[in-house]
């Protein structure tokens, strides 16, 4: 492809003529008792939104290719140079539609207390009265796609299914990467399986003869979850999780409610298999807030000779107690929807290798040769680029070339270290659960919980310092318990209680061990004390040796710490003073943090489990009485 073939016109201002909707994929001939209810619901949404046509998505390769060609023809996607990035495309969103919108995300439960203090609550009748006029006629001039999808292998014991209706072809092609889409799912619905209803519109109807925009959206945006009826309604945004409703909306917010009702957990967790030099396999799930090393750990390349990591999932895990007393986990997603900036050969070579082709990029920069670039992909920026808004860019432009929240959407199967059985329906039994935040102070490199309840306490107190300026000051913490603060679909105090209840369902000798990790502790001079990245395998090594009972631990007021001599530090240079500081426990700082935890707990009132109050009291007691 010649350089001249790559469009560089700013996407936010392009207007393109409407193309006739493609006439592919007739409605599948599927029958069964559940089909009537699904058809009636689709007809109801169509009557409200008034699309020009309704297309039932069958998930075929031919259909997906036709959708991609249509978006290229309409100017909504740029086809990248196949020499560098085969089968890949670039989308540029509207500048006002670039991220998840927590301020416009609501939990519409019947009772406000059921949403809890960490969610934006709104009464169901009130928000339906707002949404109905917005959705009325919102799909005029467009195609309404009906997308049946499965989270987890179709028919798997830990899987759940849903249907999304949307007027965004971009959303359809993204859902096709992130979930399992097709008539097999439709047949499960027809046979009577329960399913979650999700409705999405970009909120940009077209009058006859009106030209479309390259990225249709609406200034008014809502992402609303109805936990009592297991529905999601999203209006106005075409971006990411606002439009791919199977992801955070279903797989976390709604699934957390289903899990509470059915006795399992929907978690914002990566999932990996760690294989030691003897070939023994261990399964680890880990919850980290954003910018805390989650994707790097999901695709870890250990620096310790003989160790390997296989990726099972990078973002979401569903955990269910098994009849054997263990906790089993699946990755319910089929793809990775990752943040591009900061992903590079020096930080996550596995992710870079995953993106060799068949990828939808959103809001990254375009190179003159038709490939893509973003900050962190290489150490040095190319001399000339087209930025994410379609404008010329050089390193002297004084602005990022890629949006800080620019994304890639790619099949998990393309990951070079994906486990061969990553999508096995039964999942894998967990050996360890890790919680981590970005803490410059107080929290050691690794702490082992003394038991399940203490582990829940650790998870409930996960936090990060708010800003670089605040690092080193205990007191300005951004709380993100279990890394689920934006994603729990019900009262988080009840969620803590649900974790405690799940622990009672597990055999004490088969439940996964719980640890807290912190790759980001800094010294008094502001340096990171631990090298991180692949060296984090040395912490995983100690965790596994603890699980196998091969090494002792040091009991401290905050939990069990390693002996320094038990860490495998061969091949790296970490000064002894840094190691001492990595595991230092400052009594006064921890007592101050306990006060902050009490303030946080107080926001939940009487619904907070008594066991967590008891854990906090025990922490204070140990801090005050331990020499």
H, E, C per residue of 198-233 = EEEECCCCCCCCCCEECCCCCCCCEEEEECCCCEEE
CATH classification for the domain delimited by 335-414, as one of 2.170.8.10, 3.30.70.270, 3.30.1370.140, 2.60.40.650: 2.170.8.10
Phi and psi at residue 527, to the nearest 5°: -80, 145
Annotated active-site residue 249? The verdict is no
Q: Please tell us whether the domain made up of 3-76+104-263 is placed in CATH 3.40.47.10.
A: no
| DSSP string of 259-273, one letter each residue | HHHHT-EEE--EEEE
For 185, the enclosing helix (H) or strand (E) is helix 183-190
Listed by start position, the domains of the chain span 3-76+104-263, 267-334+423-586, 335-414
CA–CA distance, 229 with 248 (Å, rounded to integer): 17
CA–CA distance, 81 with 163 (Å, rounded to integer): 34
| Residue 468 bridge partners (DSSP) | none
Q: Are 456 and 500 in contact (CB under 8 A)?
A: yes
Closest by CA to 620, choosing from 570, 558, 560, is: 558
Closest by CA to 318, choosing from 242, 275, 263, is: 263
What tokens does 249 get?
Answer: 């909306």
Q: What is the pLDDT of residue 627?
A: 67
Mean pLDDT by 10 residues, the chain (627 residues): 40 46 58 92 96 95 96 97 97 95 95 97 98 98 97 96 98 98 95 97 96 97 98 97 97 98 98 97 95 90 96 98 98 96 92 98 98 96 98 97 97 98 97 96 97 98 67 69 97 98 96 97 94 96 98 98 97 94 96 96 98 98 91
Residue 57 DSSP one-character state: -
CA–CA distance, 251 with 181 (Å, rounded to integer): 15
Q: What is the pLDDT of residue 23?
A: 41
Q: SS in 3 state form for 338-359?
A: EECCCCCCCCCHHHHHHCCCCC
Same fold, 3-76+104-263 and 335-414: no
Integer-rounded Cα Rg, in Å, for the chain is 25
Q: Are 536 and 288 in contact (CB under 8 A)?
A: no
Q: What fold does the segment set 267-334+423-586 form as a domain?
A: Phosphoenolpyruvate Carboxykinase; domain 3 (3.90.228)
Closest by CA to 445, choosing from 281, 607, 558, is: 558
Measured CA distances, 180 to 79, 153, 160 (Å): 24, 7, 11
Q: What is the pLDDT of residue 26?
A: 62
**The Cα angle at residue 297 between residues 541 and 411, in degrees rounded to 5:** 135
Give the active site residue among 217, 249, 292, 488.
Answer: 292
For 365, the enclosing helix (H) or strand (E) is strand 365-366
Q: What is the pLDDT of residue 323?
A: 96
């Amino acid at each position: 492809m010649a350089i001249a073939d790559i469009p560089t016109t700013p996407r936010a201002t392009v207007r393109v003529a409407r193309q006739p909707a493609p006439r592919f994929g007739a409605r599948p001939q599927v029958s069964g008792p559940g089909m009537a209810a699904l058809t009636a619901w689709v007809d109801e949404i169509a009557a409200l939104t008034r699309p020009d046509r309704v297309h039932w998505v069958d998930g075929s390769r031919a259909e997906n290719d036709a959708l991609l060609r249509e978006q290229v023809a309409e100017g909504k996607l740029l086809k990248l140079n196949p020499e560098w990035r085969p089968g890949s495309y670039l989308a540029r969103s509207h500048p006002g539609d670039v991220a998840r919108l927590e301020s416009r995300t609501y939990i519409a439960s019947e009772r406000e207390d059921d949403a809890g203090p960490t969610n934006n609550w709104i009464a169901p009748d009130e928000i339906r009265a707002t949404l109905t006029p917005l959705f009325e006629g919102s799909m005029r001039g467009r195609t309404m796609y009906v997308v049946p999808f499965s989270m987890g292998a179709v028919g798997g014991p830990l899987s759940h299914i849903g249907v999304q209706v949307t007027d965004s072809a971009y959303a359809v092609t993204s859902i096709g990467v992130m979930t399992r889409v097709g008539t097999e799912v439709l047949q499960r619905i027809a046979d009577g399986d329960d399913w979650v209803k999700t409705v999405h519109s970009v909120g940009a109807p077209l009058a006859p003869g009106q030209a479309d925009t390259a990225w249709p959206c609406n200034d008014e945006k809502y992402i609303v979850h109805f936990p009592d009826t297991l529905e999601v309604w999203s209006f106005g945004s075409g971006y990411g999780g606002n439009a791919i409703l199977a992801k955070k909306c279903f797989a976390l917010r709604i699934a957390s409610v289903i899990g509470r009702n059915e006795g399992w957990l929907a978690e914002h967790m990566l999932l990996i298999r760690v294989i030691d030099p003897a070939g023994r396999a261990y399964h680890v799930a880990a919850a980290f807030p954003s910018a805390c090393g989650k994707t790097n750990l999901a695709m870890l390349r250990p620096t310790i000779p003989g160790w390997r990591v296989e990726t099972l999932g990078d973002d979401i895990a569903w955990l269910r107690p098994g009849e054997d007393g263990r906790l089993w986990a699946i990755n319910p997603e089929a793809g990775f929807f990752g943040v591009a900036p900061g992903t590079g050969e020096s930080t996550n070579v596995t992710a870079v290798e995953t993106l060799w082709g068949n990828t939808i990029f959103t809001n990254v920069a375009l190179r003159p040769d038709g490939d893509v670039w973003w900050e962190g992909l290489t150490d040095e920026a190319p001399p000339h680029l087209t930025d994410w808004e379609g404008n010329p860019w050089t390193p002297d432009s004084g602005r990022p070339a890629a949006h800080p929240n620019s994304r890639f959407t790619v099949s998990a199967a393309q990951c070079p270290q994906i486990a061969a059985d990553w999508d096995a329906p039964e999942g894998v039994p967990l050996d360890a659960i890790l919680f981590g935040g970005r803490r410059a102070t107080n929290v050691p490199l690794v702490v082992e919980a003394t038991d399940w309840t203490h582990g829940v306490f650790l998870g409930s107190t996960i936090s990060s310092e708010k800003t670089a300026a605040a690092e080193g000051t205990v007191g300005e913490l951004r709380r993100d318990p279990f890394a689920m603060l934006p994603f729990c679909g019900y009262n988080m105090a009840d969620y803590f209680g649900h974790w405690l209840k799940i622990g009672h369902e597990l055999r004490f000798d088969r439940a996964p061990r719980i640890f807290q990790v912190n790759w980001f502790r800094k010294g008094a001079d502001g340096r990171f004390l631990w090298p991180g990245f692949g060296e984090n395998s040395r912490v995983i090594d100690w965790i596994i040796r603890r699980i196998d009972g091969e090494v002792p631990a040091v009991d401290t007021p905050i939990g069990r710490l390693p002996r320094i001599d038990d860490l495998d530090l061969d091949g790296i240079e970490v000064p002894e003073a840094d190691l001492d500081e990595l595991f230092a426990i400052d009594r006064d700082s921890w007592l101050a943090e306990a006060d902050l935890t009490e303030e946080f707990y107080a926001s939940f009132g009487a619904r907070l489990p008594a066991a967590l109050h008891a854990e906090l009291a025990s922490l204070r007691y140990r801090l005050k009485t331990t020499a």
